[in-house]
Structure 1
Amino acid sequence: MTPVDELSASMEDYLEAIYHIVTAKQAARAKDIAKRLDVNNSSVTGALRTLSEKGFINYAPYDVITLTPKGHKHAEDVVRRHEALMDFFTKVLCVDRTEASEAACKMEHAVSRNILDRLIRFVEFIEICPRGGETLIQGFNNHCRQEGNFITCQDSLARCLEDLKQRQKDIEGDLLETAPLNDLRQDQRGKILKIKGKGGISKKLAELEVTPGSIVEVIQTDTETGALDIKVRGYRLSLSTEEAAKILVERSGN
């Protein structure tokens, strides 16, 4: 049975809420969940009992709530689906974040792992392919707004060839803007070129199928420790500055 089949959409919403609260506070309480989902306490109690019986959470009345390993893994999968859909809606379709979030919440429960992986790869492809990138995305956005001034195929091909020629010159002249991941600032993105080492973070990323070519985005940085919260292939990860230094990236111009 797949993770999508094990829980109803409603139960996955509760599990996702618990995941976010536990991430922020280390543990969750029923009132936190009720507030986040805007539901009454009796509904929360019933959901917590169901999740506990299925082995997704550690729960006892009046005690704090934590995720079991099974629950944490499933919650990460739900969050990943949500993030992947959000990226597609906002970065490719140029949909407003509020509308995108509402749609992602409804669709995340039905997306299969195969479709999810292809969606993530498509977002990466459309962002880094010389025939795509910001120009294509903005052109599509203009088309949706019916603003006209569309780029002709001939002009688009000409620009693509110019970009390819410039990129080839950069490669030959070693002018690509490369840096360790810990050099990127908040909201900056880059394409992974190399992951140094065989254990530790290298092994963790390999398990998540994060490889050279994957697009990584810095969500936030800790100014005191240098630690990074990143998003890659729909996963949100926390890296120490030492771990981030082992990941070489090509900075994105975005």
Structure 2
Amino acid sequence: MHTERLEEYLETILYLIMKNQGPAKTKQIADELNVAPPSVTEMIKKLSSMGFVEHIPYKGVELTYKGTEKAIKIKRKHQVLETFLADVLDLDRKVAHREACELEHAVSDHVLERLYEFLGSPEYCPDGHPINIDKCTLGEQERFIPLDEMKEGSSGTVARVTLPREAKERLNSLGILTGKEIEVRRKQKQGCISVIAVGSEIALGRDVAKKIFITPCGGSS
């Protein structure tokens, strides 16, 4: 349990550093983990003594080289497990995320790599983020949302599609390409979403729309 808690902190700090593009604030860590700020302060001291983090007065918490390596490894475990739960077991994204949080601390490196191979070595997790990040790309926090979460009348640019190759090629032939603009025309009760791409209206099922990630125009969603 002690190791599990340490890993949760490191993963949370990594997430906040990527989100902030700078140090993680103590209050942010407390809010993310739903704990009291004094508990965060105590854990930060412990992580610092272990060489995982550095606390910068008035700025926040940074990961050391050692801490970054550890946090990236934990994050990757989470993403691979979440991909399996969402894509193979067909769990809802939020449920898959929650379950992956529980499993990531127990699965061995060997099992994880076998699972990653079984999945076909995917590039992205169900949230559209790269699975194999490195220290050079930590500051590159992309701003996108799944197409199925966009509102009627909103538009944006296709950031990436995380569907299998055949399905992706089919969408490409319809004009849904990375870097191209797309507009949500209608969202129907049965889950279908009608979009405008390269001047044509296309109907997409929710299972497809949730794998298309959009960078909204003007921050709309």
The TM tier, using the shorter chain, reads 0.5 to 0.7
Shift of the alpha carbon at 1:99?
Answer: 1.4
Q: Give distance in 2, aligned partners of 1:41 and 1:23.
A: 21
Q: Give distance in 2, aligned partners of 1:112 and 1:100.
A: 19
Q: Give distance in 1, aligned partners of 2:12 and 2:124.
A: 23
Find the counterpart in structure 1 of residue 132 from structure 2.
Answer: 235
Query: Does the Cα contact within 8 Å between 2:83 and 2:125 map onto a contact in 1?
Result: no
Find the counterpart in structure 2 of residue 156 from structure 1.
Answer: none
Matched, 1:216 2:123: yes
Find the counterpart in structure 1 of residue 84 from structure 2.
Answer: 88
Shift of the alpha carbon at 1:217?
Answer: 3.8
Identify if the C-alpha distance between structure 1 residues 40 and 112 changes in structure 2 by more than 3 Å, giving closer, same or farther: same
- SS for the counterpart of 1:59 is strand
Q: Give distance in 1, aligned partners of 2:98 and 2:64.
A: 27
Find the counterpart in structure 1 of residue 110 from structure 2.
Answer: 114
Find the counterpart in structure 2 of residue 67 from structure 1.
Answer: 63
Structure 2: 5+ residue runs without aligned partners? 141-163, 168-221
Find the counterpart in structure 1 of residue 30 from structure 2.
Answer: 34
TM-score by length of 2: 0.57
> Among 5, 8, 11, which residue is 1:13 paired with?
8
Matched, 1:252 2:165: yes
Q: Give distance in 1, aligned partners of 2:129 and 2:101.
A: 21
Shift of the alpha carbon at 1:236?
Answer: 3.4
**What value does the CA root-mean-square deviation take over the aligned residues?**
2.7
Larger relative helix fraction: 1
Shift of the alpha carbon at 1:37?
Answer: 1.1
Identify if the C-alpha distance between structure 1 residues 57 and 34 changes in structure 2 by more than 3 Å, giving closer, same or farther: same
Query: Does the Cα contact within 8 Å between 2:80 and 2:125 map onto a contact in 1?
Result: no
Name the amino acid aligned to 1:216: E
Q: Which has the larger radius of gyration?
A: 1
Structure 1: 5+ residue runs without aligned partners? 125-213, 221-228, 241-250
- SS for the counterpart of 1:66 is strand
